[in-house]
Structure 1
Amino acid sequence: MSSTAALAQGTREISIDGVRQVFHVAGTGPVCVVHSGGPGIGWEYLRMPALEQHLTMVYLEPIGTGASGRLADPRDYRLDTYVRFVHGVVEHLGLPKVFLLGHSHGGFVAQRYALEHADRLAGLILFATSPVTGPEFWADAVANVNRFPERHPDRQEAAEIPQAFQEAAAAADDKAYTEGLRRILPAYFADYWAHEDALEPMRAVLKAWIDPMRGEEPAPFDVRDRLGSIALPSLVLTGAHDFICGTRWASMLHDGIPGSRLTLLADSGHMGHLEQPEVFTRAVAEFARA
């Protein structure tokens, strides 16, 4: 298939290793493949209409979510699997190079892809992510969640977030995982309630699937000692109030990747593309042009 046909606007579907991979094409300009966070969260929250004025965005529905296929064994939802599916889409597009944008867990996928397939990338965009997880990473996230009510003392919903976070982490099925994610969503913003009218419709339709959470990695994610080998133009973005992938982890990425750019979204949490869309769009568009 020609790259023109592969990049026709709308929803596309291909098969990779016998599993359905769905993606959505929108916008105009250089091609940017987008991998959302999770694992197991629907892609729609990451739609970036303003950026589609500058780039042709190829939004993946990660395997195990949405209309994409499911793996027979949930333990196979690992980073190397996601990387293989990203590469399948890149190969299908038929272009020498594309940009790759990864958000949160999608940023882990993007880092691994850049380390394995740098020759296929024009640039790497790491949005609200980290080069490492593990006990210290998660302890920091939990501590930030527990402090979240202090930032919004007049919001009863904020007071309930720490308990809701524990319950979401213990979800055993798709319904409980989805409901838990919707309950804790305000924690992913600097001030959810300042944008509540615009965000509530997204919250109401947000969906999540539990099986991708059951993937078994052979070792904890940690690429800090390999960041120096990434010779790609790279942009790191994070929100100053991101409870899970904030400035500490973004600085590790920026310091570790030679020549990378760092953009701090001062009034955002984990969802800077929704809280500060103009600043976010300008940073990514200028990076791509450069």
Structure 2
Amino acid sequence: MKLLLPAILVGSLLLQSCSTSTDSAVLESNTPALSEYFDSSGKDDQLSGGVKMVKINTPSGEFDVWTKRVGYNPSMKVLLLHGGPGGTHEGFECFDSYLPKEGIEYYYYDQLGSHYSAQPNDTSLWNIPRFVEEVEQVRKALNLDKDNFYLLGHSWGGILAMEYALKHQDKLKGLIISNMMSSIPAYNKYPDEVLGPQMDPKVLAELKQIESANDFSNPRYMELLMPNFYTKHALRMPLEQWPNPVNRMFSHMNQTVYVQMQGPSEFGIRGNASLKNWDRSGDLDLIKVPTLTIGGEHDTTDPEHMKWMAEQLPNGSYLYCPEGSHMAMYDDQKTYFAGFTTFIKKVDAERTATGNQQVHDL
């Protein structure tokens, strides 16, 4: 099933899914009362306010990673994979303004190497297969399964989410790929062919000169990038208005992990970066679970590519954020969360309706 979710149709699609393809009573029955949603009594993370340190096994030994549960819903649980690599869960903190009122349970999670988790000094750990195995161990520790487990990956987290789905989709109920393309070679073309030419030619020339000299520690590099690239394509707000969670995320970035996998350039993944040849475009048809791709008009990643991805996925849909950049959950917040929650609840209601029908048939 292919479904396009432009901003103007998000509300109507939610109503349509309630009144036609699914029973609205079923949809509402799967949203717990707030008293139940926020009740932590008897849960193993009650003492810590939802925080659980998960011990993971790696080729270099055991380490602790940080997770935090918000809310309770037995059929809708979302694990959030942050960007970077080497970023933190803090960039997702705006979810607190939207998901609780929708009754969706969600988990913040700092991947190994990130600020709230262990940060081993071992570069052999920063590779896709090991991160995929880490997510699987976290899933088990949090008791997530195919009847309730939605995985959302943003940016680098989107790469990780695709890789996880290709190996473990039998554990998933739904997948959300937020602001990430399925091909790094295609990702690299976008700033060269589209974003760069939008810049002042003098600014672009100076940035390219700094990059060609491999002079990324030059303060002039970020001095040029912040007003000419970040506030136009990463988060479309004046720097002084950037939300505190976003600023904390950037200040806590693990640069060792980031540079090894992403590289030092902000115009693509190049040089010796380990992700530079990553490409899963030819494997999208193998992901059978319901999947939502999200793209922003002003994104650092090509929104048309995210739309194309949804068309390749057997059960894909696309959410377009017309005011959004790479952090569309902030600069096109209402579109982002309306589409995201519509998708989660639609998948949940359809699964419930199918299960009820099977029971009725028996």
**TM-score after normalising by structure 2:** 0.66
| Corresponding residue number in structure 2 for 1:27 | 71
SS in 2 for 1:12: strand
Cα deviation, residue 161, structure 1: 11
In the alignment, is residue 92 of structure 1 matched against residue 104 of structure 2? no
Residue among 104, 107, 130 paired with 1:58:
107
Cα deviation, residue 15, structure 1: 1.2
Residue among 281, 289, 304 paired with 1:248:
304
SS in 2 for 1:262: strand
Q: Deviations over 1:36-95 (max 9, x none)?
A: 111112221122121243321111112111021124421431111211111111000113
Cα deviation, residue 25, structure 1: 1.7
Contact 2:84 2:155 in 1 (8 A): yes
Contact 1:24 1:58 in 2 (8 A): yes
Cα deviation, residue 20, structure 1: 1.5
Cα deviation, residue 139, structure 1: 3.2
| Corresponding residue number in structure 1 for 2:92 | 46
Contact 1:161 1:187 in 2 (8 A): no
| Corresponding residue number in structure 1 for 2:82 | 36
| Corresponding residue number in structure 1 for 2:289 | 232
Give unpaired runs (5+ residues) of structure 2: 1-41, 262-272, 347-362
Counterpart CA distance in 1 for 2:107 and 2:205 is: 33
What's the Cα RMSD here?
Answer: 3.4
| Corresponding residue number in structure 2 for 1:114 | 165
Report the count of equivalent residues: 275
Q: Deviations over 1:117-141 (max 9, x none)?
A: 111111000100111112x421322
Amino acid at match of 2:142: L
Give unpaired runs (5+ residues) of structure 1: 154-158
CA 203–163 in structure 1, closer or farther in 2 if over 3 Å, else same:
farther
CA 148–19 in structure 1, closer or farther in 2 if over 3 Å, else same:
farther
Larger mean CA deviation between 123-132 and 65-74 belongs to: 65-74
Which has the bigger relative contact order, CA under 8 A and spacing at least 6?
2
Residue among 257, 260, 269 paired with 2:316:
260
Contact 2:232 2:298 in 1 (8 A): no
Contact 1:99 1:125 in 2 (8 A): yes
SS in 2 for 1:273: helix
Contact 1:28 1:53 in 2 (8 A): no
Q: Deviations over 1:8-45 (max 9, x none)?
A: 74322111010111112223432100001111122211
| Corresponding residue number in structure 2 for 1:77 | 126
Counterpart CA distance in 2 for 1:176 and 1:189 is: 18
Counterpart CA distance in 2 for 1:12 and 1:162 is: 46
| Corresponding residue number in structure 2 for 1:156 | none
CA 73–187 in structure 1, closer or farther in 2 if over 3 Å, else same:
farther
| Corresponding residue number in structure 1 for 2:189 | 139
In the alignment, is residue 5 of structure 1 matched against residue 44 of structure 2? yes
The structure having more radius of gyration, on CA atoms, is: 2
**TM-score after normalising by structure 1:** 0.81
Contact 2:83 2:155 in 1 (8 A): yes
Counterpart CA distance in 1 for 2:329 and 2:193 is: 24
Q: Percent identity?
A: 19
